[in-house]
Structures are given as C-alpha cells and as structure tokens.
Structure 1
Amino acid sequence: MLLAIDAGNTNVVFALVDIGGGEGRAIKARWRIATDPRRTADEYAVWLSQLLSLAGYDRSVVTSVIIATVVPRALHNLRVLAAKYFGGEPLVAGVAPAAFGMAIDVDEPASLGADRAVNTIAAHALHPGDLIVVDFGTATTFDVSDFSGAYKGGIIAPGINLSLDALVTAAAKLPRIAIEAPATKGVIGTNTVDQMTIGIYWGYIAMIEGLLDRLKAEVGRPVTVIATGGLATLFERHTGVFDVIEPDLTIQGLAIMAERAHMTGNSLS
C-alpha cells in the first residue's frame, strides 16, 4: 500500500492508500500531526507505527511513499522516515519521476505550492471541464484549471482560523470563539459572541461567494466548483456555490501521481 504524506503549514496528514486492489485508491486510514519542521524521522516513526498498529496494520504493508510539502524544512526528515523505516526513497510531488505533468500557465510556475498542484491534478482526473478548487487550509486558496488540465492561476486568502486568530490577538477584550454557523437566524447580533460568530462565518461565506462570482465571470465558460479541506462541509450547509465536496482531494492526487510514476516504469519503493 501507499503511504501518502501531505505536509501543510498547520498539519501533516498521513494516509494509507490501497492503489493496487480493486477498490480504486481506497483510503484505509488517515492520521494528522501538528507540523513541526524540527520533528525527527525517529519521532514520526514511533508515532506512526503505533497508529498503524492500532488500525490493524504492520509497517511492512507500506510498499511506497509519496510526499507533498509546502514546508521545505520538513522534507528532509520525511525523506529519512521513508528511507529508514519504509525501505526506500520516497516520491516527492513535483520532482521526477513524480513531476506534476501539467501546464502551469502563471508568471512564476516554480512558486506554485505542491498541494495546489496536486489538488489540480486530482480535480482534473475526477471531473471534466473547467474547474475551480477551493481549499480550506491555513490559507483559503482558489485554483483555476481549464478543460485540458492546465493550471491557470488563482487566489490566496487568509484562512478562517488565521482571520479569527488575528482578530482575537489584536482586540484585547474579544474572546476566543468556536468557528461554527451562528445560532441566530439574522445577522444583527445582540451580544459580543454572536456578533463575532456572524462576522466570521457569514463574512467568510460572503468572501467565498464574491470571489467565486468574479472568477467565474473571468473564466467565461461553465465551471465546476470543487471544495476540499476540513471546513468545506461547515460552509456547504449555508451556501450553494460548491458543486462537489472532495474531502480527500490532495491524498487522491498523491495516489494518482504515485500510480503514474509506477506506470512509467519507476519503482515506487
């Protein structure tokens, strides 16, 4: 099985994916740990071995590893983890033999984050036509790709947790609140917590809807909007702008890239 590792700014997600069975990239288990570039390969191995065991798997079931990271300092220890504990050099998204293999039609192609490129690959493999992928992570990103699978550009906005952290840090009397849909039906809050919840939640939905309207107008053709990331389902309940929710888009993209590397004759282990 494939161990797919998505190292983001906030969390590192590890997923065990069966890409050789008849289920078609079935995700058997997933775990996450806070991103810390100082965490050693040995620390990862102890933590991950225990979780594999709790899920009923031995470490030997992992026959290949692929990594996507937007935290360059984390890559070395993840490479060591793969080599030392899983018996081989990992694939790294964006590096041959796991190159992205798509046109990146922007001013600075090398600056495109691996997660956004992997999401685009997965989205194009799963859905036809022009696409917009909205990924709710540390930042909320909007990524546009055309019907050929070429990456055309997008938008980077502060993530909702980042926005809330900035608000609470800068305003001494404002409390920490949960990110959730407001309990009130209207948007006139009558206490501090309700006003903050309305501002964060409905303000964020207004931003999403407004930016998607502008992106669709600029594309000028029918577009499928795909949402991914942990908070996608929270917003889906109160807006109709998402056509599809793909909670595991990045992991699916990594599995697709690993399959492609294998099909071109490169060892996955």
Structure 2
Amino acid sequence: MQTSDFLSFLLLSKRRSFNQRAVDLRKALRLYNLLMMKRNERLRVLIAEFSSISHTLDKIQKKSKTMGIAGGTTGAVGGVTAVLGMALAPVTMGISLVATAVGAGMVASAGGMGAHTAQQAKKKIVNRTAVEKLVDEYKTNVADLEHCLDFILCAMSELRRHDIPRLRMAGAQTDALKMAHLSQCVVGNYMNSNRKGYVPHPGRMPSEGLLQAFAKEVDQYFTEKDGQKLKKSNKTRFSGRVRLLAENLQDELDHLNHMWEMFS
C-alpha cells in the first residue's frame, strides 16, 4: 500500500470514528435531557425531605430543652407558685387551663409530658428505615444521571482531540461537526468554571459517593437494640450530618442542572 493510500485510509478511519462518537454523544445528550426532565423535581423533593429531617430534629431538641427547663422550674417552686405558673403557661404546651384545679402535682409532670410529645414526634418522623429509604431512592434517581453526564463529558473530550478542520474537509457529517463545536464550548467553559481542573473519567459519581459515605455512618447514630431509634446523645450530631448531606446533594444537583443548561 502506497503512503498516500495509507493516509487516505487512516483519515477515513478517523472520520468514521469521529462520526460514530458524535452519534453516541447525541444519543447520550438526549438521554440526559429526558432523565433531567423526569427526575429533576423528584430529586429536589428528596433533598427537601432530608432537610426536613434535620429541621424536625432541631425543633424537637429545642422543644425538649424548653419543656425540660419549664418542668424543672415549676417543680422547684411548689404550692401556689406552681399553680400560678400553670395558669400562665402557654396553650401550646398542650395542657388545658382546667388542669390548674388539680394542683401542683399536674404541673410537676409538664416537663415529662413535653419530652414524651417530642419523643413520639421523633419516633413518627425520624427512624432508620425512613432515612435509608430516602438514601436508596435518591441514589436510584441520580445514578443514571451522573453516569450519563460522565459519558457525555468523556465523549466531548474525545471529540475535541480530533483535527476538526481536516475532518471537515474530509467530508465529516454536519451533525458530527456540530457536536464537536458544542464539545469545544462546553468543555472549555467547564474547565474554566468553579470545578477547574476536573478531568472527566468513568466511575466518578459525586452524589453516589456522598450517599455511600453517609450510609456507612448511620450505625453510629442509632441504638443497637433495634437499630431504629436515634440515640439521644446523637440527635444534634445526626441533625447536622443530615443537613450537610442535603446541602452537598443540592450542590451536586445544581451542577447537573448547570450542565443541562450548557447542553441546551
């Protein structure tokens, strides 16, 4: 085979590879668009549910602390002062003013009632099964999106490595050239964004990684007896950990949406 023939064959091979890579990229972009349309809102709702868990625990902690202080104070004053304290207590404490006729004994249990109410709310809303269900659902919804985005960025990086002007002269498909131009714009802007220095590679799953790390830590927050009850000493820590997870997941979802806009 002569040199000219070999070069022609090589160029033809590159053109075919270029065209096929562009076709694959276009399919991946369509899939990403479809997945974002179907799952974006659900992911937002799930993040809101994670935040709700944190807010609920914070409120329970605050309410329990307030009730504890109120119960301790009323128990210490005794007699007439205790009855007066009951009469002036806010309706929101969940105790009818009619109970003042019972006397100080009823007042002494105010703190206990508040703690019981908080305990019931916690059991109803925050338990391990509910948390793990949220983690699994979010992971299921976001995994395909992140895999797809990873493939898209890798494909775009590959297209940018081709000699576009030469392939254009060699008869590369118009759609393939459009994909190459989009790739240059997206990857160029992406590399200059706040994720500067990022090199696309398979297996990098930000949200999945966050969820897996969180799942490994769950054991330390719940009791060993049944694994469902949140340890009293860990309420504040768990609330902060869930809040951090929600914030990080929101950052990653914002990134997915930012890339979606860049692809449009």
Q: Could you say which TM-score interval applies, normalised by the shorter chain?
A: under 0.3
Structure number having the greater strand percentage: 1
Structure number having the greater helix percentage: 2
TM-score, normalised relative to structure 1: 0.22
TM-score, normalised relative to structure 2: 0.23
Higher radius of gyration, 1 or 2? 2
